[in-house]
Amino acid sequence: MKTTQNSENLDRPELTAYALGELDAAQNAEMSAWLEQHPDADVELDHITALAAALESTAELPTYRLHPHQRQAVLAGPQRVRELVAAASSAQRAASLQRQRLMARRVSQFAAAAAVTIGAFYAGTHFGSPSVAPVAAVTKETPKPIAEAKPTPVLAAVDKLPAKLEPATAPTLVSSDTLVKPKSVVLKPMLPIAVAKPGPVVTPSVITASVPNVTPVVAEVTKTARGPVTKIFSQPFTSTSKGAVASVSLRPSETRPTPPKAASPVLGAPLPLNQSNKPPAPRSNKSPELLIHAWKAEVTACPWDESRRLVRLVLQVPGEQPAASSADNAYPLHVAFDPNYVRSYRLLAQRATTPATMDAAAVHVAWYEVTPNGNAIEGSPRNLGHVTLPGARFTTQAMSPFDGSSLQILDRSAKWQASREDFLFESAVVGFGLLLKGEKDIGQLDHSLVLSLAEKSLTDDRTGERAKFVKLVKQAQQSTGL
């Protein structure tokens, strides 16, 4: 009985929707809670996920194209549509004239009948007895008064009609007859079209990264929906014996939230970034100070290589501030690793999240992988290095004035298993990125480990993005056969 009840409980469309990532945040949370109370549903969930992954991985759509003449017809569309509209309006005119002519014919028939009747009445009255001849005489004369009768304008209009009226053409594209026939149209070359998916406001996000002693380079410009953008780097380890300082450039303009749209946009006259119509102030050579709300450094064991340490640097930067008003403003985040404790390091990834609103904060994250040199004393915290951000200050008075060398990267020998869920999830994303890039020297990193990390972070999946990520990794795992 219990089994039946359980199986009935598990037979829920919501479970399928959950597995397919179709629930909204609230429903997702509700479903997660339900799943916690029904551990037997995990098997069902796994089955659905496996089948969905199989369907997606084996889904193959052959590539089809329209025939060349069909493509030409579509690409010459505006002209073709104009022709159709013109044809429709001429058909309407013709139909209108046809209706008028029909009405005129009926009126003339009625008038003729009336004239015959009146003529017969007159003949009967004047000649006393009915006779065929007078009636015939009257009948012969009927066309004249009829032609001069009331419908004259209509008849005149009918006279002006063309000898042959074209048949009415369907005014819409619904009929299969209106499917476009091939036309000899010279095609212009196709323009490259940027992929634009429907969604929230598109915000350009530029990730800038630099390697030690190398001028910062704009990696790429990615147009994406508002949300985190992660850039995974492929870099070899850098030895600390060279005394180099790792550096990441922060460009607050890149995470500046999109200002609200103007009520009446003016073509060809883009507003300045500060949304003011005033002329821009003369540029100063000195960049404004970068305001930051907070920053922190976290260090744990590296999940894919226990002999290394994983460092995450997080900065909260106000989205709307003077430093964000110019794309030229870049602030180097220097990371100096201590050679006493660190043998080598490499930048793994950088992420920048644009805030949803103007008054919220952007989040900049940088991930480093560090190889300790083994000088640390077991059980005691060690300072792997420090982070500086010249030209910046805190927004909070309590921490002001800003001490550019105050952020220490303290390694307290934390294990990655004890990390918070957001750390685990992000490390899974970074690991997956390394796999996708085919990065070398990644220890035990594989899809299973990425899945293991990501699945540990699912209890706090408010937006459902983590479940989607897990699904994605499973698909990738299946497709690679690992």
Partner 1 sequence: MSQFNAQSEASALVRESMELYESQLIAYAATLLNGDLERARDVVQDTFLRLYLAEPEKVRENVKAWLYTVCRNRAFDVLRKDIRLTFAEDEVLHTYSDQRPDPSLAADTHELYDRAWELLESLSENQQEVIRLKFLHHQSYKDIARVTGLSIGNVGFLMHVGLKKLRDLLQLELNDHSTSPQ
Residues that bind partner 1 (CB under 8 A): 11-17, 20, 22, 47-48, 51-52, 54-59, 61-67, 70-71, 73-75, 77-78, 80-81, 173-174, 176, 178-180, 190-191, 193, 195-196, 198
Rounded Cα distance, 465 and 61, in Å: 26
- Closest CB to partner 1 among residues 68, 236: 68
Q: Closest distance between partner 1 and the C-beta of residue 451, in Å? A: 18
- Closest CB to partner 1 among residues 2, 67: 67
Rounded Cα distance, 396 and 196, in Å: 40
- Closest CB to partner 1 among residues 137, 173: 173
- Closest CB to partner 1 among residues 52, 314: 52
Question: Is the previous residue joined to 401 through a cis bond, with omega within 30 degrees of 0?
Answer: yes
Q: Closest distance between partner 1 and the C-beta of residue 473, in Å? A: 18
User: For residues 25 and 464, is the Cβ–Cβ distance under 8 A?
Assistant: yes
- Closest CB to partner 1 among residues 73, 424: 73
User: For residues 210 and 217, is the Cβ–Cβ distance under 8 A?
Assistant: yes
Q: Pseudo-torsion of CA 154, 155, 156, 161, nearest 10°?
A: 100
- Closest CB to partner 1 among residues 97, 180: 180
- Closest CB to partner 1 among residues 282, 481: 481
Q: Closest distance between partner 1 and the C-beta of residue 481, in Å? A: 9
- Closest CB to partner 1 among residues 45, 107: 45
- Closest CB to partner 1 among residues 17, 168: 17
- Closest CB to partner 1 among residues 56, 298: 56
Spell out a b/e string for 98-108, using b for 16 or more CB atoms within 10 Å of the CB, else e: eebbeebeebb
Rounded Cα distance, 107 and 265, in Å: 58
- Closest CB to partner 1 among residues 196, 269: 196
Q: Closest distance between partner 1 and the C-beta of residue 229, in Å? A: 21
Radius of gyration (C-alpha) of the chain in whole angstroms: 39
Q: Closest distance between partner 1 and the C-beta of residue 358, in Å? A: 23
Spell out a b/e string for 144-174, using b for 16 or more CB atoms within 10 Å of the CB, else e: eebeeeebeebbeebeeeeeeeeeebeeeee
- Closest CB to partner 1 among residues 20, 360: 20
